[in-house]
Amino acid sequence: MFEDKTLVCKECGEEFVFTAGEQEFYAEKGFENIPQRCKNCRDKRKAQRAERKFYDAVCAECGKECKVPFEPKEDRPVYCSECFADKK
């Protein structure tokens, strides 16, 4: 049913193979988009996200201390993840 596909990484421009097994895995998980990056570029992006700096903040809603992935500004309220989810 699935056949190997050769794709081009949008990050480095190198070709990589999207194997039949990977395609089957994507289908089982319900993923609709094909990979845009090769494994090396995906691994680099994951590592960069792990290195993100977090800042201490106090939730404007409940007053709980929390960490956020951006530098809080005095003129904008910051919410903990629970209060932020409630606002949606």
Grade residue 87 by pLDDT with cuts at 50, 70 and 90.
confident
pTM of the model: 0.56
Closest CA to 57 of 37, 33, 74, 34: 74
Closest CA to 35 of 54, 49, 15: 15
| pLDDT tens column, 26-83 | 999 999 999 999 999 999 999 887 778 889 999 999 999 999 989 999 899 999 999 9
Tell which wins on pLDDT, 88 or 72. 72
Residue ranges of the domains in the chain?
5-50, 55-87
| pLDDT tens column, 8-32 | 999 999 999 999 999 999 999 999 9
| Phi, psi of 86, deg, nearest 5 | -65, -30
- Residue 79 near residue 60 (C-beta atoms within 8 A): yes
pLDDT(5) > 80 = yes
Please tell me the distance from the alpha carbon of residue 4 to that of residue 9, in angstroms, as a whole number.
Answer: 15
